[in-house]
Each structure stands twice: as C-alpha cells, then as structure tokens.
C-alpha cells in the first residue's frame, strides 16, 4: 500500500512539475507570430489551390529534392479550420505549435514512467535537459506553418513509448501510421523507422518482428515512390552549413567540397553527434574555435558546453555497464537506454549533407530520455557509495541541473527575441512604398494582408526591455 | 540528497508557476512593453511603430523617449523621424515616411545635422537624396541634446 501511495505521489508530482514549467513556455511560444520565412509561401500556396487533391498533386512537383505533401495539406486544413471557426490564423497555426509542445512533453512523461522518488529526482534533471538542450529550442523556433520537426519528434517518441509497453496487436498499424505522418512532412521522418529498428534491436518488448517488417516495407515503398517521381537527395551545396569557425553559403560549400564531399560529410556527422553530446558545434560552427581566436569565451558557450559535458559523462558512465552485464541480464532500463542512445547516434548521420540544429532535434529528445535512465541509476547507486563520494556526486548532479535550468530560462528569452524579430519581418511585407510589388492575385493578397495584420497587431517585447546581459548568457 | 539534486528544478517550477500567475494578471515574464511612437522607433520596434500609426498615433508629433534608449541620464521628447535618425535606422525612417511622416526643409536640416553626430550611411543616403550639399548646422540644437528636446 505504501509503495503504491509513494508511486502515485511521485507520478503526480512529476506531472505537476512538467505542467507548471511547460505552461509559461507554451505562452512564450504562442507569442511568436506566424513567420514570414518558410510560412508565408506555403500558406499562400495552400490557400490559392483549387482543391485539396490539386494541391496534393502540385506539391509533389514543387521541388526536385523534397517530397513533403503534408506540409501544404496541413496548412490548407488549418486555413479552412480558421475560416470555418472564424478564429485568427495565428490562433490556429501557433495553437498547433503549442499543442505539439504539450504532446512532446506528455510523451516524454510517458517515456520516463516516473514511479518512485528516485524516478522523480531523475525526472527533475532530465526534464530540464529535454527543454534546455539547444536542439529543443531549435525545434520550437521552427518556421514552417506546422512544426514538422516537432511532428517527427512526437512520432519517434510515440514509437519509443509503444516499445516500452507490452506488445499489442495494433502496434504495427500505429507505427506505420506514425511513419507515414513523419515521412509525409519531412525527409528526416526516416528517424521514425530508425527508432522502430533500434527499439527492436535493443529487445524492447513492444516492438515485434511484424512491426519491423511492416515499417521497413513502408519505408522501402517511400524510397521507391521518390525514385519513381525522380526526387533525388540534395547533395553538398544544396544548403548552407558551418565548417570550422565559419558558416558557408550553399554556393561556397559546392565550390569548396562539391568535387570531394566525403570528408565534409564525415565532418558533419561527427559534428552532429558532438552537438548532441557537448552542445558544440552549432549548425556546424564551433563557437569555441571562434572564441579561442577572439581571445574570449562567450558565457553562453561555457554554460552550454559545461552542462552538456557533465550530462554526457553520466551517460558514458551508464553505458560502461554494458561491458559488465550479459545481454540476457539487461533490465528494461538497459534496453531502453541502448535503443535511445542508438537513435540519437543514428540521428547524427542524417546531418551528412548539412548540419542544422533542427535535424538533430529528435536526437535531443532521446538524449534526454537517456539522461533520465542514467541519472536514475546514478542516484540509486549513491547509498552504496562512501559519504564523501556520494556527496560529491550529489553536488555534481545539482550543479548540472542548475546549468540546465538556466538554459531553460534562456529558451523564454530566445523566444521573446524570436517573436520580436518575426513580427518586425512582417513590416517588410506589403510595404506602402512598394505597392507595385504587391500580389495581383486577390486571394493571395487577402491571405497575406490578414497574416500581416494579425502579426503586427500582436504586441511583443522589444529586446530593449529584456535583461541587458541576456544576449551574453542565452544567445549563441 | 534528492532534494539537493531536484532543487534547480523546484526553483524553476516555482518561478514558472509565478510567471503563470503573472500571465493571468496581465504581467508574467517579460510582458510586452507600452511605448510611445518615438520610443517604439528608438527601440528598433518597427512593427510596434506601425501598429501605433494604424491605431491613430501621429507620425508628425513628438513624444517622450525614456532615458537609456537614445540618451544617457535624461529623457527627451522627439519626433519619430528624429528617433529613427538617432537610432541609426534607415529602414524605420523609410517606413515612417511611407506612412505619413512629413519632413520639411527645416526638419530636414535638423535630421542631417543629427545624422552627423550619429553616423549611418543608409540614413545619410536617404536624407542626402532630399537635399544637396553639406548641411549648415550652425545654430541647430540637436533633439537628442538636453536643450534641444522638444
């Protein structure tokens, strides 16, 4: 009875912590207007299409390197929803961004399965890692009308949650549906299939052979469709990316690495992994290198690197267990840790052509899951250690958690900044002194005007009213 | 020991709860700022400046700019276009001109003299397009000076 009571209290408390921290974060996220970059064009395209079917057909031919039909379909559905319910575009589109934030938090809550006070303590660290890691912030800043990276993250995390539970007949169906959703919004949705494979390979109970086979066939079919449509993967030079201490444009990268891309691709994959483990580099650029050249390290780099380094040390400590325990003796936590770790390692491989924090955002979610498992094990081991060592480890975890809490507070700051910048971007759209450049299509003009008016009418906080040192400690 | 490890999260949770309560009462963490039109311009907030104009603010009327934005140690009253030049914002100046701000010959001289103390090539290009030669700044008191404030 006592155990059950303790379990329910710890579970409830973790839910309360998650909710209380997420609510103001959701508010900060909702304050960001619909973006001009990456949002205006697809919303206008979606609004102008004659029908959903014609939009679907057209969207397949939009780009020779991408197949993202749901990007436009979802935008159209949301426009229709806004017009039917007579609410603002902002409420609908930004509402979906916020809803996805809550879905991700809910799935993380389910993935951690807090049952006792040790779990709760580990959750109090891991939850900060989830929200504070730069890849999560990058996911929140996503400028697409619907946050595709968050959708992919939610799909991958949902597969992981299913994998933790007892096998059910519907798991292959749900896993296939999640894979279809993820692949239809963005190519990095392939991480959902990788998650299925990793969970099965690690021996997690919920994923059986049928799920692996069905999702693999589906993924194979997706690749076949891409091939039939003549859609090719973008090579080096398709996007700008960082290298060393500088960021290079797509043209510069093509010129520099186009002929011999392998070295650059290895650099990117290693960089993607290092970014997850150490918060460096960011978008391929090593801020530490920039700081070293400038002779001064920016405080934000110090905070980010130290917090990630400390957490990664705990993860490496946990991973050494596998050297001492036979596979047959692995616990559920061991299997979950292995699956999650391989997912974020595999996610790094998706950065081969160019690095963006958003591409490794799913890896960031699984990094936080690994943190929960490793920190839980470390806390559980403290009573067996000598008092000075246990105290030192306790201080180490508390200091690390404090750095992560500081990073979470920084997400609010960055979102305020993003809201300010995004709102001001709309001033450059439909300029009074450039009426000749306004769209001639009445539907396009009406949608653009409505989006612009809604964005400008939403008051934001100017950075002039934010803490003066915020840039130094929170913006990289 | 567990409490020590969880302490940062507890602090953030309590702070977040406080921010949520603040939201309900119109405050919260870093709420949006209430500014005058020149203040919006001075804080590089073009969207807010445009919103204020759409809501009836006169782009040809001086308003208060608090200490610390364009000046140190004192507040000033300036025209929005003067705030734009003082803040070295050509884009804001252009936006104001496109939305009803009028710059007559006398004001143009003031703005060009102000630009000479707060250099910005974009602003200078816009102002020079409206007048030839170097401005004569003798006898001009700048609106950002304590004595020149309106």
Q: Do B42 and B115 lie in a common domain? A: yes
Quick one: residue B60, left, alpha or beta (phi over 0 = left, psi -120 to 50 = alpha)? Answer: alpha
Other beta carbons within 10 Å of A456: 21
Same domain, B11 and B41: no
Do B25 and B44 sit in the same domain of this protein?
Answer: no
Decide if A464 and B13 are in contact by the 8 Å CB cutoff: no
Say whether both B6 and B46 belong to one domain.
Answer: no
Q: Identify whether residues B85 and B11 lie together within a single domain.
A: no
Is B11 in Cβ contact with A398 (below 8 Å)? Answer: no
Within 8 A by CB and 6+ apart from A180, the residues are A218
Residue A345 to residue A191: CA distance in whole angstroms: 11
Q: Which stretches of chain A score pLDDT less than 70?
A: 1-7
Q: Do A466 and B99 touch (CB under 8 A)?
A: no
Cα(A76)–Cα(B52) distance, integer angstroms? 32
Q: What local confidence, expressed as pLDDT, does residue A2 receive?
A: 42
- Would you call A24 and B13 a contact, using CB atoms and an 8 Å cutoff? no
Set of chain B residues whose Cβ sits within 8 Å of the Cβ of A381: none
Q: Inter-chain contact A24–B23, Cβ cutoff 8 Å?
A: yes
CATH code assigned at B91:
1.25.40
Both B75 and B14 in one domain: the answer is no
Same-domain pairing of B120 and B104:
yes
The contacts of residue A384 (CB under 8 Å, 6+ apart) are none
Return the bridge partners of A242, or none.
Answer: A247
Model pLDDT, residue B148: 60
Residue B70 in 3-state DSSP? coil
Q: What is the mean pLDDT of chain B?
A: 92
Domain count, chain B: 2
One domain for residues B22 and B77: no
Q: Inspect the interface and report whether the beta carbons of B9 and A405 lie closer than 8 Å.
A: yes
Distance, CA of A71 to CA of A310 (rounded, Å): 38
Q: Do A457 and B51 touch (CB under 8 A)?
A: yes
Q: What spatial distance separates the first Cα and last Cα of chain A, rounded to whole Å? A: 50
Evaluate whether A132 touches A409 at the Cβ level (below 8 Å).
Answer: no
Query: Which DSSP letter does residue A285 get?
Result: B
Residue B149 is assigned to a structural domain of this protein: no
| B104 belongs to a structural domain | yes
Q: Chain A neighbours among B 55-94 (CB < 8 Å)?
A: 69, 91, 94
Is the pLDDT confidence value at B16 over 70?
yes
What confidence score (pLDDT) does residue A288 get? 84
Q: Check residue A1 and give its pLDDT.
A: 40
B18 and B66 in a common domain: no
Q: Which residues pair with B63 in a beta bridge?
A: B78
**Would residue B150 count as lying in a domain?**
no
CA–CA gap between residue A286 and residue B145 (Å, rounded): 44
Do B25 and B41 belong to one domain?
A: no
- Report CB contact under 8 Å: B50, A456: yes
**Does residue B41 sit within a domain?**
yes
Interface check A12 vs B, CB under 8 A: no
- CB contact residues (below 8 A), chain A span 172-201, against chain B: none
Residues 26-45 of A with CB under 8 A from B: 27-28
Taking contacts as CB-CB distances below 8 angstroms, the residues of chain A near B8 are 124, 128, 398, 401-402, 404-405
pTM assigned to the model:
0.93
Cα A255 to Cα A143, A240, A260, A350: the distances in Å are 28, 12, 10, 22
Residue A242 phi/psi, 5-degree rounding, is: -85, 155
pLDDT for B147 equals: 67
Contact call for B30 and A423, based on CB within 8 A: no
Displacement of CA A39 from its chain's centroid (Å):
18
Rounded CA-CA distance A465/A319 in Å is 45
Domain residues for B64?
37-128
Q: A408: which chain B residues are within 8 Å (Cβ-Cβ)?
A: 12
Whether the CB-CB separation of A359 and A284 falls below 8 Å is answered with no
Which site among A9, A22, A410, A427 would you substitute to test the B interface, given the most B Cβ atoms closer than 10 Å to its Cβ?
A427
Report the DSSP beta bridge partners of residue A285. A282
Query: Cα-atom radius of gyration of chain A, to the nearest Å?
Result: 23
Q: What's the Cα-to-Cα distance from B43 to each of A87, A463, A472, B37, B51, rounded to whole Å? A: 31, 8, 19, 10, 14
B11, B80: one domain:
no
Determine contact, residues B120/B44, Cβ cutoff 8 Å. Answer: no
> What is the spatial distance between Cα A459 and Cα B36, in angstroms, rounded to a whole number?
13
Q: Please give the pLDDT value at position B72.
A: 92
- The verdict on B20 and B49 lying in the same domain is no
Cα A102 from Cα B60, distance rounded (Å): 46
Give the number of residues written for chain A. 476
Taken in order A61, A67, A70, A71, the sign of the CA dihedral is negative
Quote the pLDDT of residue B32. Answer: 86
Whole-number Å distance between alpha carbons of A351 and A329: 34
Query: Comparing C-alpha atoms, which of B145, B78, B91, B142 is closest to residue B114?
Result: B142
- Is B50 part of any domain? yes
Kindly state the average pLDDT of the residues B8-16. Answer: 97
Would you list the domain boundaries of chain A?
2-474
Q: Which residues of A touch B91 (CB under 8 A)?
A: 427-428
How large is the average pLDDT for residues B61-69?
94
- Residue of chain A whose alpha carbon sits nearest to that of B35: A462
Is residue A369 exposed (0-12), middle (13-18) or buried (19+ Cβ within 10 Å)? buried
């Amino acid at each position: 009875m006592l155990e059950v009571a303790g379990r329910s209290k710890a579970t409830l408390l973790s839910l309360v912590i998650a909710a209380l921290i997420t609510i103001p974060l959701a508010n900060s996220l909702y304050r960001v207007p619909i973006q001009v970059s990456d949002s205006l064009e697809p919303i206008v395209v979606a609004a102008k299409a004659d029908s959903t079917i014609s939009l679907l057909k057209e969207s397949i031919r939009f780009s020779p390197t991408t197949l993202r039909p749901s990007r436009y379909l979802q935008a159209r559905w949301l426009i229709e929803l806004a017009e039917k319910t007579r609410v603002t575009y902002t409420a609908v589109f930004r509402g979906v961004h916020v809803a996805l934030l809550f879905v991700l938090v809910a799935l993380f809550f389910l993935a951690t399965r807090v049952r006792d006070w040790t779990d709760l303590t580990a959750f109090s660290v891991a939850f900060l890692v989830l929200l504070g890691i730069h890849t999560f912030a990058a996911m929140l800043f996503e400028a697409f009308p619907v946050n595709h990276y968050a959708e992919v993250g939610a799909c991958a995390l949902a597969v992981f949650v299913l994998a933790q539970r007892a096998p059910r007949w519907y798991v292959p169906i749900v896993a296939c549906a999640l894979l279809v959703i993820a692949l239809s919004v963005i190519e990095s949705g392939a991480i959902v299939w990788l998650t299925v494979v990793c969970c099965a390979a690690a021996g997690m109970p919920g994923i059986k052979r049928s799920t692996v086979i069905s999702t693999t066939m589906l993924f194979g079919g997706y690749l076949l469709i891409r091939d039939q449509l003549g859609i090719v993967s973008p090579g080096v030079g398709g996007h700008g990316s960082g290298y060393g201490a500088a960021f290079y444009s797509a043209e510069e990268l093509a010129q520099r690495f186009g002929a011999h891309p392998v070295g650059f691709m290895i650099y990117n994959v290693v960089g993607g992994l290092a970014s997850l483990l150490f918060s460096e580099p960011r978008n391929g650029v090593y801020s530490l290198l920039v700081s070293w050249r400038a002779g001064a390290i920016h405080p934000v780099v110090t905070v980010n690197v130290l917090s990630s380094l400390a957490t990664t040390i705990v993860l490496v400590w946990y991973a050494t267990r596998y050297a001492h325990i036979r596979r047959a003796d692995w616990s559920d936590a061991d299997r979950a840790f292995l699956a999650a770790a391989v997912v974020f390692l595999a996610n790094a491989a998706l950065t081969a052509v160019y690095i963006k924090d958003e591409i490794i955002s799913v890896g960031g979610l699984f990094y936080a899951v690994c943190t929960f498992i490793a920190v839980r094990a470390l806390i559980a081991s403290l009573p067996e250690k000598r008092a000075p060592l246990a105290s030192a480890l306790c201080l180490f975890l508390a200091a690390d958690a404090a750095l992560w809490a500081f990073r979470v507070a920084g997400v609010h700051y960055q979102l305020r900044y993003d809201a300010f910048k995004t709102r001001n971007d709309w001033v450059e759209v439909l300029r009074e002194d450039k009426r000749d450049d306004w769209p001639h299509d009445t539907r396009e003009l009406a949608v653009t005007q409505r989006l612009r008016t809604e964005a400008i009418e939403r008051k934001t906080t100017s950075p002039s009213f934010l803490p003066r040192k915020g840039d130094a400690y929170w913006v990289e | 020991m567990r409490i020590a490890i969880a302490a940062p999260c507890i602090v953030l949770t309590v702070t977040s709860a406080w921010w949520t309560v603040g939201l309900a009462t119109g405050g919260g963490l870093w709420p949006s700022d209430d500014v005058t039109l020149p203040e919006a311009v001075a804080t590089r907030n073009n969207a807010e400046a445009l919103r204020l104009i759409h809501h009836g603010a006169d782009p040809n009327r001086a308003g208060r700019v608090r200490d610390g934005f364009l000046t140190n140690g004192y507040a000033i009253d300036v025209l929005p276009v003067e705030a734009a030049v003082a803040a070295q914002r050509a884009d804001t100046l252009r936006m104001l001109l496109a939305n009803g701000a009028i710059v007559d010959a006398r004001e143009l001289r003031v703005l060009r003299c102000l630009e000479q103390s707060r250099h910005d090539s974009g602003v200078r290009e816009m102002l020079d397009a409206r007048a030839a030669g170097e401005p004569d700044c003798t006898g001009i008191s700048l609106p950002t000076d304590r004595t020149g404030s309106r």
